[in-house]
Amino acid sequence: MAQNDWRKSVVYQIYPKSFNDTTGNGEGDLNGIIEKLDYLKYLGVDYLWLTPIYESPMNDNGYDISNYFKINEQFGTIEDFKRLVAEAHQRDLKIMLDIVINHTSTHHEWFKEAMRSKDSPYRDYYFFRESNDGPPTNWESKFGGNAWQYDDKTDEYYLHLFDVSQADLNWDNPEVRRELHKIVNYWIDFGVDGFRFDVINLISKGAFKDSPKIGKEFYTDGPRVHDYLNELNRHTFGGKDLMTVGEMSSTTIDHCIKYTKPERQELSSVFNFHHLKVDYENGDKWTYADYDFHQLKNILMEWQLGIHQGGGWNAIFWCNHDQPRVVSRFGDDSNEELRQASAKTLAIALHMLQGTPYIYQGEEIGMTNPHFSMMNQYRDVESLNAFQELKRKGYSEDYILKILDQKSRDNSRTPMQWTNGEASGFTSGQPWIDIAPNYKEVNVEQAIEDDHSVFHMYRRLIDLRHNHDILTYGDITPLYMTHDQLFIYRRNYQSKSWLVIANFSKEAVMIPRDLDTEGDIIIQNGTITNDEISGFGAIVIETH
Ligand code: TEU
């Protein structure tokens, strides 16, 4: 296989607002990213995915775009962006942009035009519906409440699957699709190397009917979604050296195979979130619950096998800007030793899987949830809405804080911890959101100096991905799936076989007796003695 096969790459996700601030206003910017390119090169990643940097009222931190052709002033100028691309390319780092085209901000010109009157040509860019007795359907917004917002001027409702400030675009209108193709091509012309498409499996809405669930069945992987993606591919990135990943909400393996099978010309790869809903009680995110280890393993393996056998391609990840920190979630951040051990083991368990690994900023040093104790520390629109909703349901404020500490998206949005100095080296001003208090111990400076840090484990894992075809092209065989603490699997490619054993508990665990662990150690965390693997230990062995 070609050395430069994109399938061998590792992606690093940057949340610019919380990455590095060069102006002192407490929010990160593009120049801040440029400043850290050498660091990212040293880490060894290939692609940098930037969450949205376009003009936006920032109600949902950029996922509410008001002008697709402009850079948000907060982040810098188009000149800064060009410099970022050039500086990244000089270091052989690639840039991936985040494109949010399921919806626009209600501040977007199209929406403002659409709101002027029912006869506006832009009316059909969105979904406006009449209804005499309340919202047109009972669909729920993913950020709480009904998904339809009433506009008293025109006496109609518009659809917003997310916040009321994010109006869904009508992809059934060919004019809309043409406009969206233009946007993608505009950024291709700047020399970017890939795209992440936000909630792209929600773009094709089916029937507008009441739903026994919350409406998902009418718009998730909707009737024309594959046609629209194939069309987008052919009119924009298709046939060019660009890597794409679609964010797929509540999707299925069958659809994801279709989205990513190369001959179908849709996308390169997909994210799904089923493995991250294993701590949702009865499917409800806003609950306080332990995670289900068996469910986690089962879902990961079901997707690994299903996608591989179907000829598709997965993105693999524990963290992103919508998820709590994995070390606080499936690991243990209660003390320094456990934090380090579990962060490394989680990294090994994930990076040996098949697909394209993603690392979210700070994950590479084992950043934790900040454990906020007050409501006024939260900023995220979804968390603020959830707070109101849970209050309405009668939950005590203490209990809501407990839930948010476990589930809020702000858990991953606290500033990057660069040093143990003032504001963790993130800003010379007042950060827009509090920094996690453990930045004195958990920071990049410290992690680089310590050869045994989480950071150096990530470097080694990235290096393995680049240098061993087995990780990219090998099959996967799940083993001992009913084991209560160990996640065990094998990768096989040509005549090679790698055995992966990861202990997801803090206690030492016996390795199953009939598992042959003879061979060469590829990578290890913790100790293996007398057939026992230490708490949060992991090992990868090339068996013969
Ligand atoms: O997120 C889509 C989304 O619905 C997620 O909240 C997902 O359901 C969740 O992670 C599963 O636990 C995308 C963006 O990543 C998010 O930041 C935006 O707020 C949202 O779309 C709307 O654009």
Nearest to 267 by CA among 217, 200, 221, 318: 200
For the segment 487-539, what is each residue's pLDDT rounded down to a tens digit?
Answer: 999 999 999 999 999 999 999 999 999 999 999 999 999 999 879 999 999 99
382 CA from centroid of ligand 1 (Å): 9
- Helix, strand, coil % in the chain, rounded to nearest 5: 35, 20, 45
For the segment 176-218, what is each residue's pLDDT rounded down to a tens digit?
Answer: 999 999 999 999 999 999 999 999 999 999 999 999 888 999 9
* Closest residue CA from atom 9 of ligand 1: 322
pLDDT at 213: 81
The phi and psi torsions of 515 (rounded to 5 degrees) equal: -90, 120
For the segment 38-88, what is each residue's pLDDT rounded down to a tens digit?
Answer: 999 999 999 999 999 999 999 999 999 999 999 999 999 999 999 999 999
Q: Which of 55, 156, 193, 247 is catalytic?
A: 247
Nearest to 352 by CA among 519, 475, 256: 475
If you write DSSP's letter for every residue of 146-163 in order, what string do you get? BSEEEETTTTEEEE-SS-
118 class by beta-carbon count within 10 Å (0-12 exposed, 13-18 middle, 19+ buried): middle
At 178, which helix (H) or strand (E)? helix 174-188
247 is annotated as an active-site residue: yes
* Closest residue CA from atom 2 of ligand 1: 199
CA distance 413 to 172: 35
178's torsion region: left (phi>0), alpha (psi -120 to 50) or beta?
Answer: alpha
- What lines the ligand 1 site, CB under 6 Å? 60, 63, 100, 142, 162, 198-199, 247, 249, 273, 276, 321-322
Task: Find the DSSP H helices in 380-473.
Answer: 381-392, 397-407, 444-449, 454-467, 469-473
* Residue 229 pLDDT exceeds 90: yes
Check if the beta carbon of residue 47 is closer than 8 Å to that of residue 94: yes
415: confidence class by pLDDT, cuts 50, 70, 90: very high
Which residue matches tokens 């996608």? 307
Check if the beta carbon of residue 314 is closer than 8 Å to that of residue 304: yes
Contacts of 119 (CB under 8 A, 6+ apart): none
* Residue 145 pLDDT exceeds 80: yes
Q: Which of 29, 156, 198, 364 is catalytic?
A: 198
